């Protein structure tokens, strides 16, 4: 009995030592050694994917070759493989800006990543584009960081904390009263002023903030992306359901993200007229902001699944989500094949 008590005591001590490490997300033991091994065989292109319905088409894409190697860290699963001559590591973020930012930071902190490719579906705010098109913006913004102005104040009134540099009127605002059905009345919701993100680049001074609203993708990646504009995309769901206009790949000026699913024609029109937005969705700006702060080249490839509230009937994503996901995967895979190779002679079998 005494030996049993001693054993239970030792197990309890071990758990007390180990559990805080797990709770704090510390990477130890076999996982740490495995990460070190794969990094010696890097670098990799990090492929950041919002959801399973966008990841599964890539897992089944003919030119994606899985190594069968998987590393689970911090609630995320990192899958290793190759596309063409490029070594890649895939990770799914989950919905929204917070998930996308946390996942991208984990990817860049843990692994030897030479570039990030983020793909998925998006709503479309640009009336010159169509469902099924793949849009590749040059700039991304997070458009849900706001200073919400009190009723009675207007464009000429200083925002709270503006003088100290916390907030600004430089980017512009949305006057909610402009969208009232009764144009004779005012609106207590007043104005929303768009704000840049505070960023802390790795080559900057810690705790010394910079600001960014329009985050540029890597210029060499954007130039490569232009060569995809002749790519043939899927135009039909089946033999009876096809798009009225053959889809295309196109580079555009701007996309925007917020943890908001946009299905509203008035706001869709506003952000296009105000900012020249094409794709609008929920993750890309977080991937852009993290990659930009870490000084890692990145690009975002989004296939348009719906008109973000601009269609005559119910949201089109219910119908075209699969087609759009497949088109985004094809464009992303073909883009990755264009990236100049830095591949080492490696074998995952030894890991």
**Co-location of 209 and 159 in the same domain:** no
In the listed set 165, 195, 225, which residue is the last one of a domain according to the structure?
195
13: left (phi over 0), alpha (psi -120 to 50) or beta: alpha
Q: What is the pLDDT of residues 231-261, one digit of tens each?
A: 999 989 888 888 989 999 999 999 999 999 9
User: CA 208 to CA 167: how far, in whole Å?
Assistant: 16
Tokens read off for 263: 């299905």
Type and span of the H or E element at 154: none
Question: If you write DSSP's letter for every residue of 289-322 in order, what string do you get?
Answer: HHHHHHT--EEEEEEEEE-TT-SSSS-THHHHHH
Q: By 3-state DSSP, what share of the chain in percent is helix, strand and coil, each rounded to 5? A: 35, 25, 40
The total of other beta-carbon atoms located within 10 Å of residue 175's CB is 16
In the listed set 176, 195, 214, which residue is the last one of a domain according to the structure?
195
**Co-location of 228 and 158 in the same domain:** no
Name which of 52, 44, 142 is nearest 101 in CA terms. Answer: 142
pLDDT tens, the chain, 351 aa long: 555 454 444 444 443 344 444 444 567 788 999 999 999 999 999 999 999 999 999 999 999 999 999 999 999 999 999 999 999 999 999 999 999 999 999 999 999 999 999 999 999 999 999 999 999 999 999 999 999 999 999 999 999 999 999 999 999 999 999 998 887 778 999 999 999 999 999 999 999 999 999 999 999 999 999 999 999 999 898 888 889 899 999 999 999 999 999 999 999 999 999 999 999 999 999 999 999 999 999 999 999 998 887 777 776 778 889 999 999 999 999 999 999 977 555 566 666
CB burial string 23-48: b at 16+ within 10 A, e below: eeeebeeeeeebbeebeebbbbbbbb
User: CA 90 to CA 2: how far, in whole Å?
Assistant: 50
**Co-location of 243 and 286 in the same domain:** yes
**Co-location of 47 and 89 in the same domain:** yes
Name which of 119, 55, 94, 138 is nearest 303 in CA terms. Answer: 119
Name which of 73, 87, 65 is nearest 27 in CA terms. Answer: 73
pLDDT at 12: 46
Kindly report each contact of residues 288-292 with a partner whose C-beta sits within 8 Å and lies 24 or more positions away, as own/partner.
288/118, 288/140, 288/215, 288/217, 289/101, 289/142, 289/197, 289/199, 289/212, 289/215, 290/101, 290/104, 290/105, 290/108, 291/104, 291/108, 291/116, 292/199, 292/201, 292/212, 292/215, 292/216
User: CA 120 to CA 99: how far, in whole Å?
Assistant: 15
Count H helices and E strands in the chain, helices first.
8, 15
pLDDT at 179: 92
**Co-location of 244 and 293 in the same domain:** yes
The answer to whether the bond into 43 is cis (omega within 30° of 0) is yes
Is the CB of residue 121 less than 8 Å from the CB of residue 114? no
pLDDT at 130: 94
User: CA 97 to CA 193: how far, in whole Å?
Assistant: 19
The number of folded domains in the chain is: 2
155 is a domain residue? yes
Kindly report each contact of residues 268-275 with a partner whose C-beta sits within 8 Å and lies 24 or more positions away, as own/partner.
268/123, 268/125, 268/307, 268/308, 268/309, 268/310, 269/125, 269/310, 270/174, 270/179, 271/125, 271/143, 272/125, 272/126, 272/127, 274/172, 274/174, 275/141, 275/143
**Co-location of 291 and 190 in the same domain:** no
Rounded to a whole number of angstroms, the CA Rg of the chain reads 23
pLDDT at 5: 52
In the listed set 161, 195, 229, which residue is the last one of a domain according to the structure?
195
User: What are the residues facing 257 on neighbouring strands?
Assistant: 142, 281
**Co-location of 33 and 175 in the same domain:** no
351 is a domain residue? no
pLDDT at 308: 82
Range of the domain at 101: 27-145+200-338
Is the CB of residue 91 less than 8 Å from the CB of residue 273? no
276: domain CATH number is 3.40.50.1580
Name which of 26, 25, 64, 17 is nearest 45 in CA terms. Answer: 64
182 is a domain residue? yes
């Amino acid at each position: 009995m005494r030996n049993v008590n001693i054993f239970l005591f030792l197990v309890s001590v071990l758990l007390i030592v180990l559990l805080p490490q797990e709770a704090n997300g510390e990477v130890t033991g076999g996982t740490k050694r495995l990460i070190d091994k794969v990094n010696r065989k890097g670098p990799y292109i990090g492929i950041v994917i919002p959801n399973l319905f966008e990841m599964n088409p890539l897992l089944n894409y003919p030119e994606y070759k899985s190594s069968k190697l998987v590393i689970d860290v911090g609630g995320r699963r990192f899958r290793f493989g190759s596309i063409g001559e490029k070594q890649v590591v895939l990770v799914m973020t989950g919905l929204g800006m917070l998930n996308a930012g946390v996942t991208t930071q984990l990817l860049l902190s843990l692994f030897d990543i030479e570039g990030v490719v983020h793909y998925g579906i998006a709503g479309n705010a640009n009336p010159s584009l169509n469902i099924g098109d793949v849009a590749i913006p040059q700039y991304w913004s997070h458009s849900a960081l706001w200073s919400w102005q009190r009723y009675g104040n207007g464009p000429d009134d200083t925002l709270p904390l503006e003088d100290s540099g916390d907030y600004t009127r430089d980017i512009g605002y949305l006057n909610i009263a402009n969208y009232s059905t009764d144009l004779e009345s005012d609106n207590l919701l007043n104005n929303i002023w768009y704000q840049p993100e505070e960023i802390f680049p790795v080559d900057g001074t810690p705790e010394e903030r910079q600001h960014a609203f329009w985050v540029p993708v890597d210029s060499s990646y954007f130039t490569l992306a232009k060569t995809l504009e002749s790519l043939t995309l899927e135009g039909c769901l089946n033999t009876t359901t096809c798009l009225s206009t053959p889809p295309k790949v196109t580079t555009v000026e701007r996309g925007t993200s917020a943890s908001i699913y946009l299905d509203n024609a008035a706001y869709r029109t506003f952000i296009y007229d105000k900012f020249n937005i094409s794709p609008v969705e929920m993750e890309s700006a977080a991937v852009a902001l993290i990659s930009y702060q870490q000084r890692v080249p990145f690009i975002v490839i989004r296939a348009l699944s719906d008109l973000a509230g601009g269609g005559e009937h119910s949201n089109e994503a219910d119908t075209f989500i699969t087609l759009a996901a497949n088109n985004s995967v094809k464009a992303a895979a073909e883009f990755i094949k264009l990236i100049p190779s830095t591949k080492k002679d490696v074998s995952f079998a030894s890991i």
